Amino acid sequence: MISKRFVTIEIVTTLFVISLFFSPANAQIYFSDDFENPAESETKWEVITGEWEVADGVYHQLSTASPWLASMVAWDHWNNNWEEYTIEFMVKPLTEGDAPVNVLFRVRDPVPVEWADRNGPSTQMYRWIINGWTNTESRPYMYNRGSSVMLAQTNNSLIVGNWHHIKLVVTKTTIAGFVDDVEMFNVEHAEWTDGRVGLHAYSGMMDFDNFVVYGPGGGGFPKASLPDPADGALHPDTWVNLSWAPGDFAVSHDVYLGDNLSGVENATRDSDVFCGNQAETFYIAGFPGYAFPDGLVAGTTYYWRIDEVNDVDPNSPWKGDVWSFSIPPKTAYYPDPADGAEFVGPDDVTLSWTAGFGAKMHTIYLGNDYDEVSNATGGIPVGMASYDPGTLESEKIYYWRVDEFDGIATYKGDVWGFTTPSAAGAPQPANGAVEVGHSQMLNWTPADSATSHQIYFGMDKEAVKNATTDSPEYKGNKALGSESYDPGQLAWHTSYYWRVDAVYSTNTVKGLVWSFTTADYLLVDDFEGYTDDDTAGEAIWQAWIDGYGIADNGAQVGYLMPPYAEQTIVHGGSQSMPLLFTNEAGVGNSEASFMLTSPRDWTTEGVGELSLWFRGNYGNAADPLYVAIANSTGAPAIVAHSDAEAAKIYSWKKWVIPLQSFADQGINLTNVDSIAIGLGSKAGAAVGGTGTIYIDDIRLYRP
C-alpha cells in the first residue's frame, strides 16, 4: 500500500502548481457558468452548431461530424464594453487524433455557422487553437473578412481523458494564452477589441467546466474545483485522499463527506457529515482517526462537498458542488453482453465482466432457465474475468451469473440475460425507453418457431419477472401475426415492465423483462413520424398546412424535395420542421397550421403550459414569431414571442406559453381544434422579409 505521507506530499505539490492559475483579487466577474443548473445554462449560451448538452455538472460537446462545433456566450450575458478580460475554464478532451480545443473571442456577429465560413466575407473573430495538428501545436489566429493571420505557434498537447486548465488574457493591445500554467504565447495584436467569447470543439467530443470571464486585476472564481477522485469516479480502494483546487478567495475549507446525497447537499457545520474546517486542500478518509475509520465499504457511493471560507469577505462561505465517487462492489458488474442484450451472435461469443472488488476467483453459471441459473451451485471456476461458452443455440434466451471469491468469502452475482438470433425481441417501445407516450401499443417480433406468445405487464419488475399464467400480470396469449398489446391509458412519469414468453409445442421459453418510462408531458408533435412517402399521406407538409396556393400566406413547410423534414438541425430525435417564410410583396405573415386529433383537451392531467423549441437561421429577416390556437368555431387566440426579432435567434430556444394566455382570449381549452405557428403580422399589415426557422418538440406540461 502507498503510504499516506507519500500520497499527501504528491497531492500538495500538484495542487500548488494548479493553484498558480488563480490570482486572488476582487476582480469583477463578467460571466461565469459552472454548469450545475441546466436551465440556467440554457439561457447563458447560444449554440451555433453541434450537439451541446449540459449534464452531470459539465458542458458536453457530443458531436464529431462537423469541424465547426461552436457555442457562444449569449448576447444577453455579454457587453461589448468588456474589452479587457481573462477567460478561464477546464476542458477534458474525449477524442483522440485531430480534435483540438478552441477558444473564440472578439467574435463579431454574424458568427460563422459552418466551417467554411471562418474565412467568409463577413467573419471577424479571433480563435485560439489549443491542441491542433493531431495534438501537437497551439496557434492563435485572426480572421478578418476573408483573410486570416496566424499570430503565434507553440508546441502543445493535451491528454485525452484528463482535465486541463485553460487561461486566455485579453487586453486592448495584447493577448496571452496559458495551458496548465505554461505560457503558449504573448503577442501584441488588436485589430478590434469588441465582440463576444465562446467555445469551439473541432471535430471532437469534449467536456467543459467552470467557465469564467472576469475583468482586469486577477481571478474571480470563488468555488472549489478539480475534485480528485473525479466526480463520479470508481475508486478501487477502501481509503481515499480527497483533494481539490481552491477557490480564488478561500482562506480555509469546510469539508463534508457522507454516503447520503441529500445529507451532504444540505449539511451545515452542526451535521454529522461535517469533517471540519482546515487550511489544507486535501482530506483523508477510511483510516482509524479519520472519517469512516473502519474503511470505505465496497459497493457504496460517497458524496463530498467543499465550502470555501474567508471570514473577512461578506460573501463567505461559498457553498461547493456535491461530488461523488464509488467503491466498486464485491460482486461482478458491467456484463458483456449487457443484461437484456438481443440477438447476440451464437458463434464466437465471449462472456466478460468487470471483476468484483478484490476478487481472486470467478465461478460462472450459464443456462436457459432463469430460476435454475439463479439457484445453481457448483459452477465453472475461471481465473480471468471472461468465459468462452462455445457455440450457442439460435432462438434461445441465455441467463448467466458470476460469483466472486476474494479469498475470504463468496459473493453471489446478479442473473443477467441475453437472446440469440430468431428469439422473440425487438420490443417497441425499446427496452429502457423514456418519455414514452401515454397511449402506447406494445409490439415485438415473434420467435421464429414459436406457435404463440404469452404477454405479462405491470408496474412491479419482480412481479412481472416471476409471474405465471395465474398472476394478475398475465395479459393473455397472442397468436402469430398479432404481436401487440394495448395496455390502455398509462400514468404520467411512471415505469412499466413487460415480458413476452415464446410458446412452443413442447415447452414455453420465459422471456426477458423489458421496461419503459412514460413522459411527464402530453405530446402535440415531435415531427418524428413523418416520412417522404407523400403517396401514403405521410409527408410533413400534408399534416402542417402551409401557404401553398394561398395569396396572403407566405409559408412553406418542409423542403421541395425529399427529405421533406429537417434531419440535421434538430432539437430532439432525428427530425424537426423547417418553416420557410416570405413576408414581402404584400404578404404580411407566413403561417403553418396543424389539425389536432390528440391531445384536444388541454386541461387534462393539470397541464398549464405549451412548450416548443425553435431556432432561426443566419440571414433571416427580423420577423416576429407567434403561436395561435383555435376551437372548431370562433377566432383564434394569438401569443407573440417577447423578442420581436426571434427569427434571427440561430440557436435552439425553448418557448413556454401559459395556457391561460389563450384562455383569456376566449379559447375553450377542453377541446382545442388546431395550432398554428407563424411569422409576421396576423393582421397582414407588417412589412417583413424572408427566412427559415425550425420547430421541434411541441409539448404540454403541468405548470
In this structure, are 205 and 62 located in the same domain?
yes
CB under 8 Å to 97, separation ≥6 — which residues? 134, 135, 204
Closest CA to 691 of 639, 627, 642, 646: 646
Would residue 10 count as lying in a domain?
Answer: no
CB under 8 Å to 623, separation ≥6 — which residues? 581, 583, 647, 679, 680, 686, 688, 689, 691
- CATH number, domain containing residue 100: 2.60.120.560
Q: Which residues of 335-364 are buried (b: 16+ CB within 10 A; e: fewer)?
A: bbbebbbbbbebeebebbbebbbbbeebbb
Would residue 67 count as lying in a domain?
Answer: yes
State the pLDDT confidence band at 335, using cuts at 50, 70 and 90. Answer: very high
Number of domains in the chain: 5
pLDDT of 17 reads 32
In this structure, are 616 and 533 located in the same domain?
yes
CB-based contact 622:644 (threshold 8 Å) = yes
In this structure, are 681 and 640 located in the same domain?
yes
Domain hosting residue 570, numbered range? 523-701
In this structure, are 436 and 467 located in the same domain?
yes
pLDDT of 217 reads 61
In this structure, are 190 and 98 located in the same domain?
yes
Sign of the alpha-carbon dihedral angle for 64, 66, 68, 72: negative
pLDDT in tens, 362-405: 999 999 999 999 999 999 999 999 999 999 999 999 999 999 99
Higher pLDDT, 81 or 7: 81
Length of the chain: 703
How far does Cα 316 stand from its chain's mean position?
32
Query: Of the candidates 477, 502, 519, which is a domain's last residue?
Result: 519
Measured CA to CA in angstroms, residue 114 lies from 66, 70, 72, 202, 520 at distances of 8, 9, 14, 12, 36
In this structure, are 496 and 373 located in the same domain?
no
CB under 8 Å to 335, separation ≥6 — which residues? 351, 352, 353, 400, 402, 416
Q: Is residue 9 scored above 70 in pLDDT?
A: no
In this structure, are 56 and 165 located in the same domain?
yes
In this structure, are 515 and 540 located in the same domain?
no
Would residue 11 count as lying in a domain?
Answer: no
Query: Of the candidates 295, 326, 357, which is a domain's last residue?
Result: 326
pLDDT in tens, 612-667: 999 887 678 988 999 999 999 999 999 999 988 888 887 788 999 999 999 999 99
Higher pLDDT, 297 or 550: 297
In this structure, are 533 and 655 located in the same domain?
yes
- Written as one letter, the residue type at 342 is E
In this structure, are 493 and 588 located in the same domain?
no
Would residue 429 count as lying in a domain?
Answer: yes
Would residue 294 count as lying in a domain?
Answer: yes
pLDDT of 618 reads 65
Would residue 275 count as lying in a domain?
Answer: yes
pLDDT of 27 reads 62
Q: Is residue 219 scored above 90 in pLDDT?
A: no
- CATH number, domain containing residue 529: 2.60.120.430
In this structure, are 45 and 112 located in the same domain?
yes
CB under 8 Å to 173, separation ≥6 — which residues? 188, 189, 190
In this structure, are 172 and 307 located in the same domain?
no
Report DSSP state, residue 437.
-
Would residue 20 count as lying in a domain?
Answer: no
pLDDT of 220 reads 60
Three-class SS of residue 594?
strand
Query: Of the candidates 490, 519, 548, which is a domain's last residue?
Result: 519
Q: Is residue 521 scored above 90 in pLDDT?
A: yes
- What are the backbone angles phi and psi of residue 661, rounded to the nearest 5°? -60, -30
pLDDT of 10 reads 31
- What are the backbone angles phi and psi of residue 14, rounded to the nearest 5°? -60, -45
